[in-house]
Structure 1
Amino acid sequence: MLNKYKILLIIPLLAILGAMAYCGNQVYTLSNQQKQIKEDFATINSITFGLLSVNQWKDKVAVIINKQIQGFNFTPSQQKDLQKEVEQIMNGLITKAIAIINRPQKTLMGKLKKAAVKIFVNEKELRAQVPGFAREIIKQVNKPSSKRRLKRVVNSKVKQLEQTTFDSSITAERMVRVKMFSKYHVKDDDSFDKKTTAMLTDINHQTGIYAYAMLGGALLFLIIWLFLKKQVALHKTLFVLSIFAAILLLVVGVSTTMINVEARIQTLDFSLLGQNMVFKNQILFFQSKGILEVVMVLLKTTHLESIAVGALIFCFSILFPVSKLSSALIYSLGHKKWMRGSFIHYFAFDSGKWSMADVMVVAIMMTYLAFNGILDSQLAELNIKNSYLSTVTTNNTSLQPGFVIFLSFVIYSLIMSEILKRVVLPAEEKGKHDEEQSEI
Structure 2
Amino acid sequence: MRAERLIRRLLVVAVLIAATWLTSALIADLQRVTVLKTEMAELQHIRYGLLDADLWVVRIGAILERRIDEFDLSAASREGLTKTVTELLDTIILEMERSLRQRSPPTSGNWLDQLQGALQQGLQELVFDVTRLRDQVPAYADALVAQLDLPVVQAQLKTRLKDLLQQALATSGGPDRTALQALLAHHGCVDVPLCVARIETAIAAIEPRIPKQLGATIGLVMLLFLVALTKGGSTQSGEAGDGSAEPGVAARSATLNATPVRFDPLLLAGLMAATLVLLVGGLTTPMITVDARLAEISIQVLGEPIVFRDQVLYFQSKSILDVMRVLIDSGGADMLFVAVLLTLFSLIFPLLKLLATGVYVSGVRGARGSAVVRFFALRSGKWSMADVMVVAIFMAYVGFEAVVANQLSVLRAAGPSVAVLTTNATALEPGFFLFLSFVLGSLVLSSVLDR
Q: TM-score, length-normalised on structure 1? A: 0.80
Paired amino acid for 1:149 = T
Measure the CA separation in 2 of the matches of 1:199 and 1:396: 19
Whether 1:200 aligns to 2:200 is: no
Measure the CA separation in 2 of the matches of 1:22 and 1:365: 27
SS in structure 2 at match of 1:338: coil
Measure the CA separation in 2 of the matches of 1:238 and 1:191: 52
Measure the CA separation in 2 of the matches of 1:361 and 1:200: 27
- Note if contact 1:73-1:142 (Cα within 8 Å) is conserved in structure 2: no
SS in structure 2 at match of 1:29: helix
Q: Structure 2 residue aligned with 1:157, among 159, 167, 179? A: 167
SS in structure 1 at match of 2:290: strand
Higher mean Cα deviation, 196-205 or 406-415? 196-205
Higher mean Cα deviation, 129-138 or 239-248? 129-138
Q: Structure 2 residue aligned with 1:145, among 123, 139, 155? A: 155
SS in structure 2 at match of 1:284: strand
Whether 1:373 aligns to 2:413 is: no
Measure the CA separation in 2 of the matches of 1:255 and 1:127: 82
Whether 1:176 aligns to 2:182 is: no
Whether 1:213 aligns to 2:212 is: no
Q: Deviations over 1:8-56 (max 9, x none)?
A: 3333322222222222122222222222222222222222222222222
- How far the C-alpha of 1:377 sits from its partner, in A, is 1.5
- In structure 2, the partner of 1:83 is 82
Change (3 A) 1:305 1:177: closer
SS in structure 1 at match of 2:384: coil
- In structure 1, the partner of 2:255 is none
Change (3 A) 1:113 1:358: closer
Higher mean Cα deviation, 41-50 or 401-410? 41-50
Question: Which structure has more helix as a fraction of its residues?
Answer: 1
Measure the CA separation in 2 of the matches of 1:305 and 1:97: 74
- How far the C-alpha of 1:245 sits from its partner, in A, is 0.8
- In structure 2, the partner of 1:435 is none
Q: Deviations over 1:114-168 (max 9, x none)?
A: 98999xxx98997795476245223037966246414532343235x42xxx43x
Q: TM-score, length-normalised on structure 2? A: 0.78
Question: What is the alpha-carbon root mean square deviation over aligned residues?
Answer: 3.5
- How far the C-alpha of 1:251 sits from its partner, in A, is 0.8
Q: Deviations over 1:95-129 (max 9, x none)?
A: 999999xx9997999989998999xxx98997795
Change (3 A) 1:220 1:144: farther
- Note if contact 1:21-1:248 (Cα within 8 Å) is conserved in structure 2: yes
SS in structure 1 at match of 2:445: helix
- Note if contact 1:83-1:138 (Cα within 8 Å) is conserved in structure 2: no
Change (3 A) 1:55 1:176: farther
- Note if contact 2:233-2:267 (Cα within 8 Å) is conserved in structure 1: no
Q: How does 1:265-276 map to 2 (within 5 A)?
A: 265-276=294-305
Structure 1 unaligned spans of 5+: 423-440
- In structure 2, the partner of 1:17 is 16
Measure the CA separation in 1 of the matches of 2:419 and 2:392: 37
Structure 2 unaligned spans of 5+: 106-114, 241-262
Whether 1:223 aligns to 2:226 is: yes
Measure the CA separation in 1 of the matches of 2:93 and 2:370: 115
Change (3 A) 1:125 1:399: closer
Q: Structure 2 residue aligned with 1:343, among 369, 372, 375? A: 372
Whether 1:133 aligns to 2:143 is: yes
Change (3 A) 1:147 1:401: farther
Measure the CA separation in 2 of the matches of 1:124 and 1:63: 40
- Note if contact 2:86-2:138 (Cα within 8 Å) is conserved in structure 1: no
- How far the C-alpha of 1:231 sits from its partner, in A, is 5.2
When the two structures are aligned, how many residues end up with a matched partner? 409
